[in-house]
Chains A and B, each alone.
Chain A
Amino acid sequence: MSELKGIYALWYREFKVFLRERSRVISSVINPLLWLLIIGGGLGSAISFGGINYQTFIYPGVLIQTSLFSSVFFGVYIVWDKKIDFLKEVLVAPMSRTSVFIGKVIGGSTDTIIQTSILLIIGYIFVYSGIMTGLNFNIISILITLAFLLVTIAGMVSVGLIIGSQMESPEGFQLIGSFLIFPLFFLSGALFPINNLPSWLAPFVFINPITYSIDGLRGVLIGINQFNVLLDFSVISLFSIIMFLIGSYAFKKMKI
């Protein structure tokens, strides 16, 4: 009971702060929209894959891109908490470090899922106003999409928190974070189909867990997928569980 209250307290804090920092929400939605409209629209005028317009093709990738960036960079707040003494205030409370970690993961995931939901709504509007075609929006596909996003986001928030727990400076976090996110994003098939890759590139793409998130989403939303959607879901879930476990361990060992 007490642990649940503590977890709720941490979530409450993250959520309140998120609601008060509207610029964060807006900037996190603008960036993916630029990708969708400019890269998607521009390249889309010339490229299509399997009869699917490029803009539609990268829509799942853009959803994952937002998830990646917001959730990994959520970890920077733990560095800020460390710089002031807010983290000590939390750690000196009678609750376990695991609960602190869980509270943080739920908090960060909430922030990110709200941002991606905005993109889902925008996608829905685009489809019904005819800007994008070929996206399969219905209750089931949206629920599966949300499930994929939630699992991916929880895993990537854990990754961000693992980095954050080891870092002393926000600048250092920024560096490591970008170093990690860009390869994950570019090697995920977010921007290209993965069925006919050059042999040197294929291994990098197939060991990237994010590849499976995007493949699954593309299967559900557009109907193009390389792997079975269930396999996709299992791979990304396994990844997230491992990251979650490493994260709670990292929090237990975190020095202050």
Chain B
Amino acid sequence: MSVIETKNLTKKYKELIAVDNLNLKVEEGEIFGLLGPNGAGKTTTLLMLTTLKQPTSGTAKVNNFDIIKQPDKVRKSIGIVFQDPSSDDILTGYENLKLHGWLYDMPDDLRERRIKEVLELVDLTDRKNDLVKKYSGGMRRRLEIARGLMHHPKVLFLDEPTLGLDPQSREYIWNYIEKLAKEEKITIIITTHYMDEADKLCDRLAIIDHGKIVVLGTPKELKKNLGGDIIRLKAKNLDIEMLEKLKYVKKVDRCDSEVCLTVKDADKHLQEILKKVGKVDSVEIRSPTLDDVFLHYTGRAIREDSPEGGWAERVMNMRSRR
């Protein structure tokens, strides 16, 4: 059964089409990734699915409720962890969760029980009475993930869940996401522009560019569909045209002084390629990663930071308020 289904979902801003006739189905219980360069329309899609933005045309169903006609029911069905910190740092972790329980009209006993459960899930039980401003960036993210889960949503949206976190915290967050997908049995939608994150977590993913789905599939399929391995050559005076003519070379990308070839059965053909190329400075052969997939479909390498500055940076700004 699909838990999310969009029908020609579109959002226009004056000249710009942020989301362009998007048709997408997400099945119950899967971790689904939305990938794309900055400004590709990921966050806008998320904001429409969570009823915070009205589509210009088209619609979508979340948990079988229409996002335009039944926004209240949609809101009760979803949990969301926003890109920027969305907890009050002058309240304690526990108070933030209590506030959330009230906003979602949870009965008192259920609320207290869930607070306990979700705090345990993200290992924050012993820090629950500390003010959030004393938390690290990673802890704050975990708290917000816990909060998003509190009211038993059918779908959990995670908008860039590890943006601006250090590698260790990212690893932690990934473990929690995998754990809760198993324990809470919910559908998770992740937007990210970390390819390793998408590869590790997502059952299926869609790469979006210019508001349209460019390609959709499991990480494994997508990598396989590139049609071979990557051979990276560094040499002077490479004859690109000659390389492109070879039958087993699927694609030739030039990056600086290097050339990346996508080659079918690369291990078999390496010898032949090297013979044709002549003297090389270095050569590297590897299996394709999602980065290669991304590059292949969007034609640009992903940029790591968003134009408005990273998540961590905003936490810093936020600390100086009040």
Contacts and interface: CB of A to CB of B under 8 A. Distances in A.
Contacts of A2: 105
A12 interface: yes
Given A86-B86, A256-B52, A6 B105 contact: yes
B322 to A, nearest CB: 6
B322 A85 contact: no
Contact of B322 (A80, A93, A94): A80
Contact of A92 (B52, B85, B88, B95): B52
Interface in B50-106: 50-53, 72, 75-76, 78, 80, 82-88, 90-91, 95, 99-100, 102-105
A173 B35 CA distance: 36
Contacts of B279: none
Nearest to A1: B105
A24 B322 CA distance: 8
B321 A80 contact: yes
A16 B322 contact: no
Contact of B102 (A9, A84, A85, A170): A9
B50 A84 contact: no
B314 interface: yes
B318 interface: yes
Interface residues of A, number: 29
A89 B86 contact: yes
B75 A83 contact: no
A13 B91 contact: yes
A194 interface: no
B322 A88 contact: no
B82 A88 contact: yes
A20 to B, nearest CB: 5
Contacts of B86: 84-86, 88-89
Given A9-B102, A21-B322, A256-B52, A84 B314 contact: yes
A90 interface: yes
Contacts of A8: 102
Contacts, number: 83
Contacts of A84: 84-86, 314, 318
Contacts of A83: 314, 317-318
A256 B99 CA distance: 21
Interface string A199-212: 00000000000000
Contact of A9 (B50, B83, B103): B103
Interface in A10-36: 12-13, 16-17, 20-21, 24
Given A8-B102, A13-B99, A94-B104, A86 B87 contact: yes
A17 B90 contact: yes
Contact of B82 (A5, A9, A20, A89): A89
Contact of A94 (B75, B80, B99, B147): B75
A73 B97 CA distance: 27
A16 B95 contact: yes
A242 interface: no
Contacts of B147: 89
Contact of A13 (B84, B88, B105): B88
Contact of B80 (A24, A86, A92, A256): A92
Nearest to A21: B322
Contact of A17 (B50, B72, B91): B91
A254 to B, nearest CB: 11
A90 B86 CA distance: 9
Nearest to B101: A9
Given A80-B321, A88-B80, 17 more contacts: A5-B105, A6-B103, A13-B91, A17-B88, A20-B90, A21-B322, A24-B322, A84-B314, A85-B85, A86-B86, A89-B100, A91-B52, A92-B51, A92-B52, A92-B80, A93-B104, A94-B72
10 contacts: A6-B103, A8-B102, A13-B91, A84-B84, A84-B318, A85-B84, A86-B86, A89-B86, A92-B78, A170-B321
Interface of B: 47, 50-53, 72, 75-76, 78, 80, 82-88, 90-91, 95, 99-100, 102-105, 131, 147, 314, 317-318, 321-322
